[in-house]
Amino acid sequence: MQLRSFKFSLRLILPLAIVLGLFAFAIVPLVDNLTMRWFMRELDARSNMLANAMQDPLTEYVPQKSAKKINQLFDRAILDERLYALAFCDADNQLAYKTVTYPDSLGCRSVSPKLGVRQAVIHTPQGALHITESPLNTEAEHLGKLVLVHDMSFIERRNADTRKYVITLFALLAVIISLITVVVAHLSWRGWITSVKSLLRGGLLHREQSPAASNHSATVPPPTPPEVQPLEGDLRALLNEINLERRTRDDSSHIWTPEKLRTLLHEELAGDEVLVVSNREPYLHMHTRNGVEVRRPASGLVTAVEPVMRACSGTWIAHGSGSADRDAVDRNDRVPVPPANPSYTLRRVWLTKEEEEGYYYGFANEGLWPLCHIAHVRPVFRSGDWDQYVQVNQRFADAVIKEARTDDPVVLAQDYHFALLPRMVREVLPKATIITFWHIPWPNPESFGICPWREEILEGLLGSTTLGFHTEFHCKNFLETVDRYLEARIEHEVSTISYGGKLTKVEDYPISIAWPEAEDGPGVAESRTSIRQELGLPANQLLGIGVDRLDYTKGIIERFQAIEKMLEQHPEMVGRFSMVQIAAPSRSSLDEYQNFEARVRSLVQRINRRFGNSNYEPILLKVEHHDSDQVNRYYRAADVCLVTSLHDGMNLVAKEFIAARDDEHGVLILSQFTGAARELHEALIVNPYHIEQGAEAIYRALTMPEIEQRERMRSMRSLVKDFNIYRWAGRMLLDASRLRQRERIMTKIHSHSRKSLRRVV
Ligand code: G6P
């Protein structure tokens, strides 16, 4: 605040000081000239007076040739500090008498060749001298001439003094005028602010009351000052929003629900439309032997965002990748979903084989995915893939613009597939609220610097109003990356980036899941029994569960190595413990993923050969798609859930497992390199690269006393329940709406205060 008022004062004073300074410098030579002329005139008069005063004694002493008297006369005269020397030249123009100070170089030559000029300034090694010649005559004869020499250095000294005074005077004047201006401006500004404050405190509040209430009120609302009247409506709106925000914050102890999110959207964003953009669609229509089936993809993003869309309605724009997708849409490529109970619209965008290859498999999954995960797989960047990435981002941005019914929709852009889209949308819809969420980690600036199109990616993302990551650490990495590669203004305290005149808030919003309804699916006891029966396992078999896409970032190999080590170190667990690994096939046309699958399968075979027999296999690998009901049954049947990602933005499997365990049993083993580990401190946190540590954790989980399991599980359940997906979306929407309102009001206040200031200055 102080800094701002200092800057404000500086803005007023500086131009004034510059103008006065220039004026002072222009006026100094004029003043010099004037004083010089004034002093010269004074010297001339003085010299004439002196010469006249010496005429009488000299006309007496010169004919007498009385050198002594003349010298005495001269010596007395030059006691005057300005009279420098005296001399007398006789009628033959020979130097007859002089004071010791008289410069020899002057001799008796006439000071000016011009007739009649008796006074002149000459420059000698001693400095500038003022010479006056005064003829000495008696009535009868011409005796000679008296030469008076005045030192002019005192004029220069005086001139310097005068210059100093003039400059000091102007400086003083500048300070006084500036101070007066600043005081007047501040008083007017304060007056304006006070009017706004009183309006906020009294006027608006009073006016907000019902007429009946104001009748009982003892105080009459003060009239709104005319200068604030144009703002009254906006301020009232702002006040309402702040009240609503306070209300929303005040009840933060309550659980976030779909209803609460809906209310918030309605009140905060005035029912604005919500458009989600993601690559993966929430529902795929697939041709199967039994006809068209609808499938939910294995995607953390879809798991999280789908419940939000159910609550908000709106439109979800995504790549139509199911084999029967085209058959399910209307002529605008739209289909209402969820199929059983439609609550929002899915708008499909079609991609050619070539586009999918370059944008999805190439740039997104061979480039950005390994780049951001740093899981020891080299990112591959090809210009052709980049071109497709740009083109597809533009296709989706066009779809957003086309779907938008207003010029300021709320756009939720998802993930690394659409880094360029926020800016592309912003260019056409500058008033849109664009919330981008990056679902995967953001690496450090050095690692990100590998990307040949790093500046374009950063610029694209900075088209967003709000940019979200799962953790503070990823936000920090992003801010540092922008700092390293773009000329942007970063405010670390408030986590904002100003780039190209646009402000982006960078914030951590840890993603979560929808807390399940109590009656969701079969209970724990039922699931324990039925799953063991289906797997052909004894009823008391200890069961581990892993649910992942078959992806090299998930630490599946390290997980199996830890199981192998645990069985090696605790042979009593051989035969007693089985691990079910659900591995949804993923991006399988990429070499890296095919190789990974082969390595996983061969490791499983080796471990099963080593510890298994015809009735027992320690690892049951299920490389196939499972729907959420099936997965939930496994979560409930398991004793331990293993999440051992080498790097993961959040990992929702960890949260899903916790949500499924309403019996408050079961142990979660969680990699320290997941975003979830920052929240779920009661899990057994492991470094997946440390195989012995992993083995130890598995053994500890399998032998953990029930009471400890309950304590840990209870605490984690209460966190996930409160910090659910509606809170994730609610916080982002609230922040964005606040930025949006603030920007609107600030624009008005700025333009108004500029007008007021212009009147003052
Ligand atoms: C991660 C990404 C999502 C993606 C999901 C599944 O969770 O953050 O954007 O949808 O993996 O990957 P896929 O390539 O099959 O969509």
Question: Which tens digits make up the pLDDT trace of 537-590?
Answer: 999 999 999 999 999 999 999 999 999 999 999 999 999 999 999 999 999 999
pLDDT of 42: 83
pLDDT band at 215, cuts 50/70/90?
Answer: very low
**Which residue's CA is minimally distant from atom 15 of ligand 1?**
586
711: tokens are 């304590």
Mean pLDDT along residues 437-443:
98
Q: Residue 444: which H helix or E strand, with range?
A: none
pLDDT of 306: 95
**Which residue's CA is minimally distant from atom 7 of ligand 1?**
300
Pocket perturbation via mutation, ligand 1, pick of 276, 280, 652, 656 by most ligand atoms within 8 A of CB = 280
Domain regions of the chain by residue span: 18-157, 258-508, 524-723
Spatial contact of 582 and 545, defined as CB atoms under 8 Å apart: yes
**Is the pLDDT at 504 greater than 90, yes or no?**
yes
Which span out of 109-123, 212-226, 713-727 was modeled with the highest average pLDDT? 713-727
pLDDT band at 650, cuts 50/70/90?
Answer: very high
State the Cα–Cα distance between residues 415 and 277, nearest whole angstrom: 9
Mean pLDDT along residues 650-662:
98
Residue 415 Cα: closest atom of ligand 1: 9
Strand-pair partners of 334: 347
pLDDT band at 22, cuts 50/70/90?
Answer: confident
Would 258-508 and 524-723 be classified into the same CATH topology? yes
**Which residue's CA is minimally distant from atom 14 of ligand 1?**
587
Q: What count of other Cβ atoms lies within 10 Å of the Cβ of residue 289?
A: 5
State the Cα–Cα distance between residues 40 and 723, nearest whole angstrom: 91
Closest CA relative to residue 631, chosen from 725, 547, 519, 529: 547
Pocket perturbation via mutation, ligand 1, pick of 276, 351, 412, 415 by most ligand atoms within 8 A of CB = 415
Mean pLDDT along residues 415-422:
98
State the Cα–Cα distance between residues 314 and 334, nearest whole angstrom: 12
pLDDT of 8: 60
Mean pLDDT along residues 402-429:
96
Q: Separation of 415 CA from ligand 1 center, angstroms? A: 9
pLDDT band at 686, cuts 50/70/90?
Answer: very high
pLDDT of 39: 81
pLDDT band at 120, cuts 50/70/90?
Answer: confident
pLDDT of 629: 95
Q: What count of other Cβ atoms lies within 10 Å of the Cβ of residue 259?
A: 10
Q: Separation of 649 CA from ligand 1 center, angstroms? A: 11
Mean pLDDT along residues 88-106:
86
Q: Separation of 33 CA from ligand 1 center, angstroms? A: 84
pLDDT of 252: 55
Residue 300 Cα: closest atom of ligand 1: 7
Pocket perturbation via mutation, ligand 1, pick of 277, 299, 674 by most ligand atoms within 8 A of CB = 299
Which span out of 129-133, 217-221, 656-660 was modeled with the highest average pLDDT? 656-660
**712-668-657-283 Cα dihedral, nearest 10 degrees:** 140
Pocket perturbation via mutation, ligand 1, pick of 439, 552, 588, 592 by most ligand atoms within 8 A of CB = 439
State the Cα–Cα distance between residues 497 and 125, nearest whole angstrom: 68
pLDDT band at 206, cuts 50/70/90?
Answer: very low
Lowest mean pLDDT among 6-15, 101-110, 556-565, 641-650: 6-15
Q: DSSP readout, 319-343?
A: E--STTHHHHS-TTSEEEESTTS--
pLDDT of 571: 98
Residue 437 in 3-state DSSP?
strand
Could you give the percent of the chain with pLDDT greater than 70? 86
Phi-psi region of 277 (alpha: psi -120 to 50; beta: other; left: phi over 0): beta
**Which residue's CA is minimally distant from atom 10 of ligand 1?**
299
Q: Separation of 606 CA from ligand 1 center, angstroms? A: 30
pLDDT band at 251, cuts 50/70/90?
Answer: very low
Q: Separation of 531 CA from ligand 1 center, angstroms? A: 28
State the Cα–Cα distance between residues 112 and 271, nearest whole angstrom: 98
pLDDT of 738: 81
pLDDT band at 250, cuts 50/70/90?
Answer: very low
Residues with CB under 6 A from ligand 1: 280, 299-301, 415, 439-440, 549, 586-587
Spatial contact of 457 and 386, defined as CB atoms under 8 Å apart: no
Q: Separation of 301 CA from ligand 1 center, angstroms? A: 7
Each residue of 622-636: pLDDT tens digit?
999 999 999 999 999
Residue with more model confidence, 63 or 221: 63
pLDDT of 750: 67
Lowest mean pLDDT among 84-88, 666-670, 720-724, 744-748: 744-748
| pLDDT, the chain, mean | 88
Measured CA distances, 111 to 37, 104, 132, 681 (Å): 19, 14, 8, 104
Q: What is the CA radius of gyration of the chain?
A: 46
Q: How many Å from the N-terminal Cα to the C-terminal Cα in the chain? A: 21
Mean pLDDT along residues 650-656:
98
pLDDT of 219: 39
pLDDT of 522: 94
State the Cα–Cα distance between residues 60 and 82, nearest whole angstrom: 26
Mean pLDDT along residues 248-252:
49
pLDDT of 168: 80
**Is the pLDDT at 244 greater than 60, yes or no?**
no
Residue with more model confidence, 718 or 42: 718
Closest CA relative to residue 698, chosen from 669, 676, 674, 671: 669
Closest CA relative to residue 372, chosen from 416, 423, 419, 417: 416
Residue 106 sits at φ, ψ, to 5 deg, of -75, -40
The CATH homologous superfamily to which domain 258-508 belongs is Glycogen Phosphorylase B; (3.40.50.2000)
Q: Separation of 158 CA from ligand 1 center, angstroms? A: 85
pLDDT band at 170, cuts 50/70/90?
Answer: confident
Residue 297 Cα: closest atom of ligand 1: 15
218: tokens are 């003892």
Residue 360 Cα: closest atom of ligand 1: 14
Q: Separation of 24 CA from ligand 1 center, angstroms? A: 71
Residue 298 Cα: closest atom of ligand 1: 6
pLDDT band at 702, cuts 50/70/90?
Answer: very high
Mean pLDDT along residues 383-404:
98
**Which residue's CA is minimally distant from atom 12 of ligand 1?**
299
DSSP 498: E
Residue with more model confidence, 108 or 252: 108
pLDDT of 249: 52
- Strands 127-137, 142-151: pairing kind: antiparallel
Residue 37 sits at φ, ψ, to 5 deg, of -65, -40
Residue 549 Cα: closest atom of ligand 1: 6
**Which residue's CA is minimally distant from atom 4 of ligand 1?**
299
State the Cα–Cα distance between residues 253 and 261, nearest whole angstrom: 15
Q: Residue 305: which H helix or E strand, with range?
A: helix 300-312
89: tokens are 């030249």
pLDDT of 205: 44
Which span out of 34-43, 368-377, 728-737 was modeled with the highest average pLDDT? 368-377
pLDDT band at 7, cuts 50/70/90?
Answer: low
Q: Separation of 442 CA from ligand 1 center, angstroms? A: 15
Pocket perturbation via mutation, ligand 1, pick of 279, 281, 296, 301 by most ligand atoms within 8 A of CB = 301
pLDDT of 243: 55
**Is the pLDDT at 592 greater than 60, yes or no?**
yes
**Which residue's CA is minimally distant from atom 11 of ligand 1?**
299
Q: Separation of 685 CA from ligand 1 center, angstroms? A: 24
User: Tokens 């779809």 belong to which residue?
Assistant: 399
**Is the pLDDT at 210 greater than 80, yes or no?**
no
pLDDT of 107: 83
Q: Separation of 187 CA from ligand 1 center, angstroms? A: 59
Spatial contact of 383 and 450, defined as CB atoms under 8 Å apart: no
Q: Separation of 587 CA from ligand 1 center, angstroms? A: 9
pTM of the model: 0.70
Task: Please name the CATH architecture into which domain 524-723 falls.
Answer: 3-Layer(aba) Sandwich (3.40)
Mean pLDDT along residues 222-243:
65
**Which residue's CA is minimally distant from atom 8 of ligand 1?**
439
**Is the pLDDT at 245 greater than 70, yes or no?**
no
Q: Separation of 167 CA from ligand 1 center, angstroms? A: 72
Measured CA distances, 228 to 203, 219, 243 (Å): 11, 21, 21
Spatial contact of 513 and 619, defined as CB atoms under 8 Å apart: no
Q: Separation of 416 CA from ligand 1 center, angstroms? A: 9
Q: Separation of 549 CA from ligand 1 center, angstroms? A: 9
pLDDT band at 32, cuts 50/70/90?
Answer: confident
Closest CA relative to residue 322, chosen from 276, 364, 283, 365: 283
Task: Please name the CATH architecture into which domain 18-157 falls.
Answer: 2-Layer Sandwich (3.30)
Residue 365 Cα: closest atom of ligand 1: 14
Each residue of 300-317: pLDDT tens digit?
999 999 999 999 899 999
Decide: residue 138, CB within 10 A, 0-12 exposed, 13-18 middle, 19+ buried. exposed
**Is the pLDDT at 448 greater than 70, yes or no?**
yes
State the Cα–Cα distance between residues 593 and 553, nearest whole angstrom: 10
How many residues does the structure list for the chain? 761
Q: Separation of 214 CA from ligand 1 center, angstroms? A: 57
Query: What residues contact 701, with CB distance under 8 A and at least 6 apart?
Result: 639, 640, 667, 669, 684
**Which residue's CA is minimally distant from atom 16 of ligand 1?**
280
